[in-house]
C-alpha cells in the first residue's frame, strides 16, 4: 500500500529537532503531539516523535489583513502557499536496512543501551545525523511500529504489549527481560490509573515468567480484587484470581482480609525482636524521633541485643535512670524513645515474639517461583506500611546477597537466584534524599541487577525521590503530571528531555502514559491496555514456556512471513 506524504523537512538541527512544512492538502488539525512520523532519507528512515505543531505565513501582511470567515475562496488560495502548518519533530531512531541476519541489534538512548524488540533484519541506530532538505515525511505504518517495538508473540523475546499508539491499532511492547533487570517506576498524579497500570505490568511479568514478584499492597488492590474507578460500583480481578496457584496472598490484617472475602490468604506476623535500629530510623519522622533518641537506641541494642525494644517498654523511669548511669545514656532521650515506641502497640501485625518465622515462609514461596502479595488491610497508614515493608525487604535482600555470592563462586546455573521484582507504593517515603542512603530500597536501586533484586516504584511525587536513584530508574512509565518539579524529575538523566516535556504535559488524565527507558527502543506515548474481561482471557489463554526449539523456529518464521520479511 502506497503511503501519502504529509510534508517535507525545511530546516532544523540534531540537537533542536527538525521543522517540517505540511503539504496544502494535509490538515494541521490531524497532527497531534505524541504522534509518530517517519522521514524517508536517502540512506535511512528516521523514526520521529511529534513534539509541537505551529502555524506559519509566507508574508506578514497576510496577518495584517486576514481573509473573512465567509471568504472561502481567498482562504483556499492562501492555504499551503501563503499560510501553512509546521511540525516540530524529535528524531528518535534511524532505521537502516542490513544484510546481516539473526544478530542482536544494540543502540543507545538517553537512559543507556538497549536492543530492538523486533527480530526484523533492520538495524536500529541512535540518531547522530539528520535527513537532507525536503526529505518527505510519512505517518508511521504498522510495519514501522512492529520493526521498532516488536510483537508480543515473538518467540525469541519476552515481549509484552502494554498498550497502543494514540492513533493506531498496533501493540507497543516492553522487553520484559530488560524491564526486570533494572529498577523501574510508574508515576502519575492521583487518579490517573497507576495501580491499574502496575497490575498490568505485573500480570505481564507473571504471564511471561520473566521474574518472581513481591508486592507490598498498601491499599489491598493487587491480591484478590479491587474497585474499578467510575460512577458505577464494580470490581476488577486481582492477581490471585488471574493466576490461581501462582500467586500467594499474605495478610498483616487477617480480620480485614476475611471481611473482604479474600480466599486462601495466609497470616503474617512480625515481632519486636525482628526490629533493628535501621527499621526504626526509617520511620523516625513518623514517630517523631530525634537523632539523640536513635543514638540512645544503639546503646540499648548493644546491651540487650534483639530484645532491646521488649526490655525498653518494660522499664520504669527509675530503671531507665539507673541504666543511663551505668551505660552513659541520656534519661530524657530514652524516656522519649520509650513513649514514642509505644505507638507500635497499635500495629496488629506486631508481636512480642513469634515462634514461627513468617519472612522465611515468604522466601520459600519466592524460591518456589510463587509470586507474593502482602496486603495491609486496615493497617495502611504510613507507619505500618513503612515499618513492615522495610523489615521484610531487608531480610529478603540479605538472603539474595548470600545466594548471589554463592552463584558467583560456583557458576552453577542451579545456584542462580530467581530474578526478583519488589513493588512498593509511596516510594518517595523510602527514597527521599535525606534517608535514601540508610534504607534498603536505596541500596537496591543503586545496585541495579547485581544481586538479582530490582524495584518497581509507584509514586505520584517523583520529585521527592533522590536524583541519584531517579537516574538509576531503567524504565519510566509516566501518566499525567502537573507539578513542574515532578516533570523535571521524570527526565533526570534523559538526553533530549526538553522535547518530551510538551508531550507529557498533553497527556489525558486517564489511560495514557509516556514510556521511556531501558525496556523500549525509544520514548513512546501510549493508550494503555484495558484491564478488562478481554485482558483476562488474553493473559491466561496460553502458557509461555519458551523451551520447544522446533516450535520457536516455526513461530518465528511465520511471524516474519506475516510482516513481509
Which segments in the chain show pLDDT lower than 70? 1-2, 63-64, 70-75, 77-81, 97-122, 229-233, 448-449, 495-497, 540-565
Q: Where would I find the beta strands (DSSP E) of 58-176?
A: 83-97, 106-109, 112-115, 122-125, 136-139, 159-165, 172-175
Residue 159 lies in a domain: no
- What is the separation of C-alpha 243 from the centre of its chain, rounded to a whole number of angstroms? 21
Confidence at residue 167, expressed as pLDDT on a 0 to 100 scale: 78
- pLDDT score at 541: 43
**pLDDT at 488 (0 to 100):** 87
Element (H, E) at 255: helix 254-259
Residue 560 lies in a domain: no
Residues 405 and 502 in one domain: yes
Specify whether 430 is located in the same domain as 498.
yes
Q: Is 139 helix (H, G, I), strand (E, B) or coil?
A: strand
Q: How many domains does the chain have?
A: 3
Which pLDDT tens digit goes with each residue over 172-213?
Answer: 999 999 999 999 999 998 888 888 899 999 999 999 999 999
Rounded Cα–Cα distance for residues 192 and 509 (Å): 5
Conformational region of residue 245, where left means phi above 0, alpha means psi within -120 to 50, and beta covers everything else: left
Q: Which value, in Å, is the radius of gyration of the alpha carbons in the chain?
A: 28
Q: φ, ψ for residue 217 (rounded to 5)? A: -95, 90
User: Does residue 184 form part of some domain?
Assistant: yes
Residues 14, 140, single domain; the answer is yes
Domain boundary among 321, 346, 371: 346
The span from the CA of 308 to the CA of 323, in Å, is 13
- Together in a domain, 320 and 335: yes
pLDDT per position as a tens digit, 513-526? 999 888 888 888 89
Residue of 150, 158, 161 whose CA lies nearest to 105: 150
- At which of 99, 134, 149 does a domain end? 149
pLDDT at residue 241, as a whole number: 87
281 and 252 in one domain?
A: no
Do 39 and 11 belong to one domain?
yes
Predicted local distance difference test score (pLDDT) of residue 200: 92
161 assigned to some structural domain: no
Q: pTM, whole model, 2 decimals?
A: 0.81
The answer to whether the CB of 178 falls within 8 A of the CB of 114 is yes
- Whether 163 is in a domain gets the answer no
Residues 261 and 392 reside in one and the same domain: yes
pLDDT given at position 545: 39
Same domain, 337 and 438: no
Residues 223 and 314 in one domain: no
Provide the residue range defining the domain that includes 541: 176-268+356-549
Domain annotation covers residue 42: yes
Looking at the structure, tell me whether residues 374 and 504 fall in a common domain: yes
Residue 370 belongs to a domain: yes
259 and 280 fall within a common domain: no
The predicted structure's pLDDT at residue 20? 93
Residue 170 lies in a domain: no
Give the CATH number, domain containing residue 435.
Answer: 3.40.50.300
| 260: its cell numbers | 473482604
Asked whether residue 371 falls in the same domain as residue 280, the answer is no
Amino acid at each position: 500500500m502506497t503511503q501519502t506524504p504529509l510534508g517535507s523537512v525545511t530546516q532544523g538541527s540534531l540537537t533542536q529537532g527538525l521543522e517540517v512544512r505540511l503539504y496544502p492538502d494535509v490538515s494541521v488539525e490531524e497532527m497531534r503531539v505524541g504522534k509518530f512520523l517517519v522521514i524517508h532519507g536517502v540512506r535511512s528512515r528516521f523514526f520521529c516523535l511529534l513534539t509541537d505543531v505551529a502555524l506559519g505565513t509566507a508574508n506578514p501582511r497576510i496577518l495584517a489583513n486576514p481573509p473573512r470567515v465567509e471568504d472561502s475562496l481567498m482562504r483556499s488560495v492562501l492555504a499551503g502557499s501563503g499560510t501553512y502548518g509546521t511540525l516540530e519533530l524529535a528524531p528518535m531512531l534511524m532505521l537502516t536496512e542490513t544484510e546481516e541476519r539473526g544478530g542482536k541489534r544494540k543502540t543507545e538512548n538517553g537512559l543507556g543501551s538497549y536492543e530492538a524488540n523486533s527480530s526484523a533484519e533492520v538495524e536500529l541506530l541512535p540518531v547522530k545525523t539528520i535527513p537532507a532538505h525536503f526529505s518527505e515525511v510519512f505517518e508511521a505504518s504498522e510495519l514501522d511500529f512492529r520493526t521498532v517495538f516488536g510483537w508480543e508473540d515473538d518467540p525469541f523475546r519476552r515481549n509484552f504489549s502494554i498498550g497502543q499508539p494514540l492513533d493506531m491499532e498496533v501493540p507497543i511492547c516492553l522487553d520484559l527481560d530488560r524491564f526486570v533487570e533494572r529498577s523501574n517506576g510508574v508515576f502519575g498524579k492521583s487518579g490517573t490509573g497507576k495501580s491499574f497500570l502496575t497490575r498490568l505490568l505485573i500480570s505481564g511479568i507473571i504471564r511471561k515468567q520473566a521474574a518472581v514478584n513481591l508486592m507490598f499492597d498498601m491499599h489491598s488492590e493487587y491480591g484478590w480484587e479491587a474497585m474499578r474507578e467510575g460512577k458505577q460500583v464494580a470490581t476488577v480481578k486481582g492477581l490471585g484470581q488471574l493466576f490461581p496457584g501462582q500467586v500467594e496472598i499474605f495478610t498483616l490484617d487477617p480480620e480485614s482480609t476475611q471481611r473482604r472475602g479474600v480466599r486462601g490468604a495466609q497470616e503474617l506476623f512480625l515481632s519486636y525482636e525482628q526490629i533493628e535500629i535501621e527499621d526504626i530510623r526509617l520511620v523516625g519522622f513518623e514517630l517523631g524521633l530525634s537523632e539523640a533518641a536513635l543514638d540512645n537506641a544503639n546503646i540499648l541494642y548493644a546491651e540487650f541485643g534483639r530484645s532491646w525494644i521488649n526490655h525498653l517498654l518494660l522499664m520504669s523511669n527509675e530503671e531507665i535512670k539507673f541504666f543511663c548511669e551505668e551505660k552513659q545514656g541520656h534519661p530524657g532521650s530514652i524516656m522519649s524513645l520509650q513513649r514514642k515506641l509505644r505507638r507500635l502497640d497499635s500495629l496488629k501485625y506486631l508481636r512480642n515474639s513469634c515462634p514461627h518465622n513468617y519472612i522465611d515462609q515468604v522466601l520459600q514461596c519466592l524460591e518456589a517461583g510463587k509470586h507474593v502479595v502482602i496486603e495491609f488491610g486496615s493497617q495502611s497508614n504510613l507507619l505500618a506500611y513503612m515499618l513492615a515493608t522495610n523489615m521484610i525487604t531487608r531480610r529478603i535482600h540479605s538472603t539474595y546477597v548470600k545466594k548471589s555470592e554463592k552463584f558467583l563462586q560456583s557458576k552453577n546455573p542451579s545456584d542462580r537466584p530467581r530474578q526478583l521484582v519488589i513493588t512498593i507504593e509511596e516510594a518517595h517515603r523510602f527514597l527521599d534524599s535525606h534517608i535514601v542512603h540508610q534504607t534498603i530500597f536505596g541500596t537496591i536501586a543503586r545496585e541495579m541487577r547485581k544481586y538479582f533484586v530490582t524495584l518497581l516504584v509507584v509514586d505520584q511525587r517523583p520529585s521527592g525521590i533522590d536524583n541519584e536513584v531517579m537516574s538509576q530508574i531503567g524504565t519510566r512509565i509516566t501518566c499525567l503530571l502537573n507539578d513542574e518539579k515532578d516533570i523535571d524529575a521524570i527526565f533526570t538523566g534523559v538526553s533530549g528531555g526538553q522535547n518530551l516535556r510538551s508531550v507529557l504535559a498533553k497527556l489525558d488524565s486517564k489511560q495514557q502514559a509516556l514510556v521511556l527507558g531501558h525496556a523500549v527502543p525509544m520514548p513512546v506515548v501510549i493508550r494503555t491496555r484495558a484491564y478488562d474481561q478481554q485482558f483476562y482471557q488474553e493473559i491466561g489463554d496460553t502458557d509461555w514456556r519458551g523451551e520447544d526449539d522446533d516450535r520457536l523456529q516455526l513461530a518465528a518464521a511465520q511471524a516474519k512471513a506475516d510482516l513481509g520479511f
